[in-house]
Amino acid sequence: MLPVALASPAVMRAELSRIVGAEHVLDAPPRSAYNHDAARRRGAEGRADAVVLPASAQEVAEVVRWCYAHDVAIVARGGGTGMMGGAVATHGGVVCSMERLRTVRELEPALWRMLPEAGVRTRDVQRLARENGLFFGPDPGAAEQSQIGGNVATNAGGPHALKYGVTGAWVAGLEVVLAPGELVEIGGWAGKDVAGYDLKSLLVGSEGTLGVITAVRLRLLPAPEATVALVVFLRTREDGCAAIGEVLAAGLRPSVLDFLDGDTLAIASGSFPAGADAAARAGMGAGADGGAEGEAGVPAQAGFALIVELDGSHADVREQHRELVRTLTGSALAVVQPRAQELWRWRDGINAAVTGVRGAKISEDVVFPLERLADGLEHFEQAAARHGLRSCAWGHGGEGNVHATVLVDGDSDAELDAAAAVGEELFASVVSRGGSVAGEHGIGWLKRGRLEGQWELRALELHEQLKRAFDPKGLLNPGTKLARYPAPSAG
Ligand SMILES: Cc1cc2nc3c(=O)[nH]c(=O)nc-3n(C[C@H](O)[C@H](O)[C@H](O)COP(=O)(O)OP(=O)(O)OC[C@H]3O[C@@H](n4cnc5c(N)ncnc54)[C@H](O)[C@@H]3O)c2cc1C
């Protein structure tokens, strides 16, 4: 049963004002930013009765307690950059925005750790780590707006997840408000802890459906001494996917091993950083006839590209660089070394460049096992073409994580229907190839029920039982991360 808000919005706002102060309880008209996240164009629309902005973990606990006592749904919200419609109140109720929980409670550079509150922006966590000689690996693309609490709640990834893991790998403990409104510490600074079930990992990636995270114990790493970022151009998808396998089989451990397919390259090649170090092209067997050596820009014959970042000590990076070139000699058209900042700016701009082609795009975050990546990409491209849509794909190749994208006219119902049909074929293909329907963006509201195709029945039932154990009234972000949709009635 979905929750029904028993209190009227006016009563709700008056009661919540007593907890957080009237100026921190907002209305949420339909066009309010709080009723949308990055899935806005895909129909994820909230209808919040109120938005509350608590200032402390204790206030979050009181808000949850009040909502739980009055059968009001509660949706935790970070920076609203989620791509699955998880941060919006699709079933009404209260949006609990964490933007005022901005304190970094502890920062211990010598112990490699930090304890930010949930509302601290991802970029600030990264910057603070860097300023103290440390490194925080997760780097999801909207770091200026996203919050560490949202990153934990979605178990966000990003390019560096290949070597350094997704956000959960950095979490030592959580402070979280659990139903019916209790502030609880889970995990801590113990260097090892195998006592009890791993509740912390259950909460990581739970997308606001099991509790509201108020602070995060993060374990950091010393910053690597040196990094080098390279772009490897290859002729075909098959060459590119084989090269990913060869790099890993050679024992190299790049910090980033991203890919762009030929269609993405074609769209983004015009803005490729021109200041590439031509000397870095030397030594590539295929370069001479690829027409690339010594020229700036994307080689004319390139049909696939890898973005590779190597890090470690200076000597280590030099050796890895040499080994990478050795490994790819014969298959790569060229290896270039743009200035790192320009390269990442170009990479970050791909989303917008792709969207600009037809005014809109629909991108699905999926994962193929590495050995099925080429075949999965080919199947996706064919499915899009069969439905009359142009497509492209890019992502985190080292993990087989693909952002499979179709370009559409957002005002054309026929194209949106075709895109939905391509999506269905894509998810079926991912599952049949042993992959996953979500690599880093979560399930949220848009992919509710998708797990049903991927998991076995008993695992689905456990997923649902865990939800009920944490949230017996079903008030924490209802409608989000449902294993099955429509959800079977609880027996
Ligand atoms: C341009 C762009 C690029 C992106 N690139 C990447 C990428 O490379 N990798 C990647 O993984 N993601 C990426 N994302 C997706 C998004 O940035 C991440 O999912 C991010 O972790 C969401 O954080 P947020 O603070 O914005 O959370 P929100 O969008 O506000 O919320 C996301 C989910 O987490 C829950 N939540 C938020 N805060 C809390 C809390 N304190 N307690 C409990 N639940 C909470 C919400 O209820 C919701 O279900 C990208 C998004 C954009 C717009």
pLDDT digits (tens, 9 = 90+) for 65-75: 999 999 999 99
pLDDT of residue 294: 40
pLDDT of residue 293: 39
Average pLDDT, the chain: 94
How many angstroms does the Cα of residue 85 sit away from the middle of ligand 1?
A: 10
- Rounded Cα distance, 116 and 336, in Å: 38
Read off the pLDDT of residues 103-147 as tens digits, 9 standing for 90 and up.
999 999 999 999 999 999 999 999 999 999 999 999 999 999 999
How many angstroms does the Cα of residue 290 sit away from the middle of ligand 1?
A: 41
pLDDT of residue 283: 44
pLDDT of residue 75: 98
For the segment 45-53, the average pLDDT, to the nearest whole number, is 96
Atom 3, ligand 1: which residue's CA is nearest? Answer: 141
User: Ligand 1, closest atom to CA 37?
Assistant: 29
How many angstroms does the Cα of residue 154 sit away from the middle of ligand 1?
A: 6
**Hey, what are 306's tokens?**
């890898």
Read off the pLDDT of residues 312-333 as tens digits, 9 standing for 90 and up.
999 999 999 999 999 999 999 9
How many angstroms does the Cα of residue 81 sit away from the middle of ligand 1?
A: 5
Residue 286 above 80 pLDDT? no
How many angstroms does the Cα of residue 207 sit away from the middle of ligand 1?
A: 9
Q: How confident is the model at residue 41 (pLDDT cuts 50, 70, 90)?
A: confident
User: Ligand 1, closest atom to CA 442?
Assistant: 19
User: Ligand 1, closest atom to CA 214?
Assistant: 41
Atom 52, ligand 1: which residue's CA is nearest? Answer: 142
For the segment 436-460, the average pLDDT, to the nearest whole number, is 97
Residue 463 vs residue 10, higher pLDDT: 463
Residue 174 above 80 pLDDT? yes
Tell me the pairing of strands 94-97 and 171-178.
unpaired
Read off the pLDDT of residues 73-93 as tens digits, 9 standing for 90 and up.
999 999 999 999 999 999 999
How many angstroms does the Cα of residue 61 sit away from the middle of ligand 1?
A: 22
Read off the pLDDT of residues 159-168 as tens digits, 9 standing for 90 and up.
999 999 999 9
Residue 386 above 60 pLDDT? yes
With a Cβ cut-off of 6 Å, ligand 1 is lined by 37-38, 75-83, 86-87, 98, 118, 140-142, 146-147, 149-151, 153-154, 156-158, 207-208, 212-213, 351, 440-441, 444, 477, 480
Q: How far is CA 9 from CA 47, 66, 67, 176, 212, in A?
A: 12, 13, 12, 26, 22
Query: Whose structure tokens read 């907890």?
Result: 19
Best of 53, 146, 183, 396 to mutate for ligand 1, by most ligand atoms within 8 A of CB? 146
Residue 179 above 60 pLDDT? yes
Q: Would the pTM count as exceeding 0.85?
A: yes
Share of the chain above pLDDT 90, in %: 90
Q: How confident is the model at residue 489 (pLDDT cuts 50, 70, 90)?
A: confident
Q: How confident is the model at residue 287 (pLDDT cuts 50, 70, 90)?
A: very low
Share of the chain above pLDDT 70, in %: 94
Q: How confident is the model at residue 8 (pLDDT cuts 50, 70, 90)?
A: confident
How many angstroms does the Cα of residue 254 sit away from the middle of ligand 1?
A: 25
Q: How confident is the model at residue 285 (pLDDT cuts 50, 70, 90)?
A: very low
Best of 56, 74, 83 to mutate for ligand 1, by most ligand atoms within 8 A of CB? 83
Best of 147, 154, 162 to mutate for ligand 1, by most ligand atoms within 8 A of CB? 154
Least confident range of 35-44, 151-160, 219-228: 35-44
Residue 284 above 60 pLDDT? no
